[in-house]
């Protein structure tokens, strides 16, 4: 395995929780994660649950199967959830999902059961519980608990198919030791785990997992919020093959740009990065070709700063 060139920075282990506030409103923890229908703005159709899987799986983050990567939003004060159905970087429709207690964080959007539709991975940082919503388009068909992890220093930082079984796996990072591991999954069931190369400097955070070089493999996007450096691990399964370095984006008081979503937003088969400013509400897409920034394109702003992008990442 190649040795990573990721270097030293100040610790930022709690950045993900801090950006939206870790001790927000409490609520009931059981009812909302049971099987239920989700009502879209024009009406969800629960009869789609149990339909035949897609012949050709959707790209990561594509909820409605139109070939465009969408964006999941979560309001961390009210628990509201919304999907932006996208046409490239333009929002063409907004669909509301059921609200969820703010103890729960949406930490992944991917296809966990291999039916071609995008599902939603949830984590409760107060208890260590993990759960998956199995979706059909924007309809919640069922929900299932996954293995709990009570040690809060382990965070879910990405999802993707790392073993080629067409079902999403889960990337974990330990923000105390720098250890990284992949849970190999079959739906909500953990089959086993594979250790990735550790990165002991916990100022480096995994901010997304997607295919950055159009080779069909899930790669890992790393960001150092102390220095503004951005790096991608190009992977071969769970093995680091090489690294590419993206442009630096310094986190300053005027922009406070955080990674909101990672996915293919211009349809070229390679991952792009969507940034969200938690000072202005501006959203910007970095359209990438490998390590090259082709265009920084503005997207529809969201001035209500308690709305955070929850994926895909």
pLDDT tens-digit map of 284-304: 999 999 899 999 999 999 999
pLDDT of 309 reads 97
Out of 4-8, 88-92, 261-265, 273-277, pick the least confident: 4-8
Q: Which DSSP string do the residues of 244-307 spell out, in sequence order?
A: EEEPP----TTT-EEEEEEE-SSSSSS-EEEEEETTT--EEEEEEETTEEEEEEEE-----TTE
pLDDT of 6 reads 66
> Is pLDDT larger for residue 25 or for residue 13?
13
pLDDT tens-digit map of 28-52: 333 334 323 332 233 345 566 766 6
pLDDT of 31 reads 34
Structural tokens at position 138: 């924007």
Q: How far apart are CA 263 and CA 261, in angstroms?
A: 7
pLDDT of 56 reads 62
pLDDT of 47 reads 64
DSSP 8-state assignment for residue 234 = E
pLDDT of 175 reads 96
Counting residues of the chain whose pLDDT is more than 70, the rounded percentage is 81
Counting residues of the chain whose pLDDT is more than 90, the rounded percentage is 76
Question: Is pLDDT of 15 > 50?
Answer: no
C-beta contacts of 184-193 below 8 A and 24+ residues apart: 185/112, 185/146, 187/112, 187/113, 187/132, 187/134, 187/144, 188/112, 188/131, 188/132, 188/144, 188/145, 188/146, 189/146, 190/146, 190/147
pLDDT of 157 reads 97
DSSP 8-state assignment for residue 47 = G
The stretch 182-204 carries a mean pLDDT of 97
| Predicted confidence band of residue 256 (pLDDT cuts 50, 70, 90) | low
Give the distance from CA 90 to its chain's centroid. Answer: 19
| Predicted confidence band of residue 250 (pLDDT cuts 50, 70, 90) | confident
Structural tokens at position 111: 């296809």
Q: How far apart are CA 48 and CA 64, in angstroms?
A: 12
pLDDT of 3 reads 53
pLDDT tens-digit map of 115-147: 999 999 999 989 999 999 999 999 999 999 999
Question: Is pLDDT of 233 > 50?
Answer: yes
């Amino acid at each position: 395995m190649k040795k990573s060139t990721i270097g030293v920075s100040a610790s930022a282990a709690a950045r993900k929780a801090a950006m939206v506030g870790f001790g927000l409103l409490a609520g009931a923890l059981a009812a909302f994660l049971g099987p239920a229908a989700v009502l879209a703005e024009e009406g969800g159709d629960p009869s789609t649950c149990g339909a035949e899987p897609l012949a050709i799986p959707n790209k990561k983050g594509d909820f409605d199967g139109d070939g465009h990567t969408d964006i999941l939003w979560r309001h961390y004060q009210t628990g509201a959830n919304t999907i932006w159905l996208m046409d490239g970087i333009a929002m063409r429709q907004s669909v509301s999902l059921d609200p969820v207690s703010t103890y729960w964080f949406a930490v992944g959007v991917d296809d966990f059961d291999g039916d071609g539709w995008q599902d939603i991975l949830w984590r409760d940082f107060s208890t260590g519980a993990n759960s998956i919503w199995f979706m059909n388009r924007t309809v919640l068909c069922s929900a299932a608990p996954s293995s709990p992890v009570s040690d809060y220093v382990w965070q879910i930082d990405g999802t993707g198919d790392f073993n080629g079984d067409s079902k999403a796996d889960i990337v974990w990072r330990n923000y105390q030791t720098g250890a990284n591991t992949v849970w190999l999954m079959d739906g909500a069931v953990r089959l086993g785990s594979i250790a990735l190369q550790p990165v002991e400097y916990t100022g480096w955070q995994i901010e997304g997992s997607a295919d950055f070089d159009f080779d069909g493999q899930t790669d890992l996007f790393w960001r150092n919020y102390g220095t503004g450096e951005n790096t991608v691990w190009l992977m071969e399964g769970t093995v680091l093959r090489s690294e590419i370095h993206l442009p630096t984006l310094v986190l300053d008081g005027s922009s406070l740009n955080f990674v909101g979503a990672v996915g293919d937003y211009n349809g070229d088969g390679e991952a792009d990065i969507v940034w969200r400013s938690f000072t202005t509400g501006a959203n910007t897409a970095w359209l990438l070709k490998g390590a090259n920034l082709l265009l920084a394109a503005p997207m529809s702003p969201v001035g209500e700063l308690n709305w955070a992008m929850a994926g895909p990442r």
